[in-house]
Amino acid sequence: MKNSIKILLLTLILGISSCSSSFIVRTKNQRIKLNPIDQKGIIIGLENEVVIIKFNQNDILQLFEKDISEFYTERTMKLIYDLKSFKEDKIFNEKKSKGTLAFTEYELKFQQLLQQGNAQVVWKCSNEILRNIKYKYTRDKLGGERAYYFSNDGTEFYNMTLGLGE
């Protein structure tokens, strides 16, 4: 009986120690220069406790229309129709919208536009417009992917899930 417990403990210890100390498989860091967006058009964006991130409606439409040209879906057509129906600026509250299907679709386009630098990030406490941001991409051992965005001083202002793992 004592030998069985010792073998079980030894197996458990060896199993834990053989696992890698890091759950993150891959990271990518990048600096992004933000280009001014056209303020004359309709602005679509999101707001959280720290920042307001703004995008031009036409930039988002182009990304959805590119998706339609590659793979037609009714869902994407509905999103395009809804997006075209906005007659005034639409800023989503991240806390209230996170997890909804429509916001998730928009959020993926927001991520693409941030990557391209086609966004305006306004720091809420000072009303400062950020010109450069830092981006960090991570993929974990289970296949989960996340994107993190930081100001130049290293303050995280936004993050999102790009893909779920196992």
Model confidence over 6-33: pLDDT tens digits? 565 555 554 544 454 466 677 888 999 9
For the CA atoms of 50, 116, 69, 41, the dihedral, rounded to the nearest 10 degrees, stands at: 60
Q: Crossing angle of helices 101-116/74-85, nearest 10°?
A: 80
Q: Amino acid letter at 71?
A: F
Are 120 and 132 contacting, i.e. CB atoms less than 8 angstroms apart? Answer: no
| pTM for the predicted model, two decimal places | 0.78
pLDDT in tens, 56-100: 999 989 998 888 777 877 888 888 888 888 889 989 998 888 877
User: Which of the two residues, 4 and 80, has the higher pLDDT score?
Assistant: 80
- Nearest one of 43, 158, 41, 61 to 111, comparing CA atoms: 158
| Tokens at 54, concatenated | 């703004």
Q: From residue 2, how far is each of 9, 31, 70, 138, 146 by CA, in Å?
A: 11, 57, 64, 44, 46
What is d(CA 11, CA 86) in angstroms, rounded to the nearest whole number? 60
